[in-house]
Amino acid sequence: MSRNDPAVDPARGGLRAHLFLIGFMGAGKTTVARHLAALLGAAEIELDEEIVRECGKNIPEIFEAHEEAYFRDRESEALRSVIAREPAVISCGGGCVLREENVAAMRESGTVVLLSATAETIYERIKNQGNRPLLAGQPTREKIAAMMEERRAAYEKACDVTVSTDGKSPGQIAEEIIGMIR
């Protein structure tokens, strides 16, 4: 597939290449992927769910039992496995862009969309969720801002397009993405 081919083929409907959603934890990747998949008539895949199914453990349990590198290995395997399937909307875990090989595989097989948000927005969205081991315990604004800053370059390098999600509904974001990739 050429990098210039649009991800969506209006004549056929649906997707002709994968659509990857990347971005920080709490950027809304999973929810937006659900909306996008419905609007495009495409399958939706959550990479974390694939890892959980393969490992037979949920994300906090995986991080409790293993080093982060173990999780990253499973994440790269899961990514390779979903890429081999029919074109789908694939929501990636927030750290998926940390490995060059993952970024190269995504860019070769589809369009990479970065969902961005301010640290304040992310904090508000995830402050009451306890399922992010890398933000151990109660996430703070400071911790989120520092980690976002560490990852900023990786996100920006990995993406084809960026959509700001602050103050927008998942449906609005999905419509905006479709407008950008058509």
Residue numbers at the binding site for ligand S3P (CB under 6 A) = 25, 29, 48, 59, 93-95, 132-134
Considering beta carbons, is residue 14 or 133 the nearer one to ligand S3P? 133
Whole-angstrom distance, CA of residue 99 vs CA of residue 128: 29
Considering beta carbons, is residue 131 or 169 the nearer one to ligand S3P? 131
Shortest distance, CB of residue 84 to ligand S3P, whole angstroms?
Answer: 20
| Phi, psi angle pair for 13, to nearest 5° | 75, 165
Considering beta carbons, is residue 6 or 60 the nearer one to ligand S3P? 60
Shortest distance, CB of residue 160 to ligand S3P, whole angstroms?
Answer: 19
Helix or strand run (H / E) with residue 114: strand 110-116
Shortest distance, CB of residue 127 to ligand S3P, whole angstroms?
Answer: 14
Instruction: Tell me which DSSP letter residue 17 carries.
Output: S
How does 2-32 read in b/e, with b if 16+ C-beta sit within 10 Å?
eeeeebbeeeeeebbbbbbbbbbbbbbbbbb
Considering beta carbons, is residue 136 or 161 the nearer one to ligand S3P? 136
Shortest distance, CB of residue 20 to ligand S3P, whole angstroms?
Answer: 13
3-state secondary structure of 21: strand
Please answer whether residues 141 and 149 qualify as being in contact, where contact means their C-beta atoms are separated by less than 8 angstroms: no
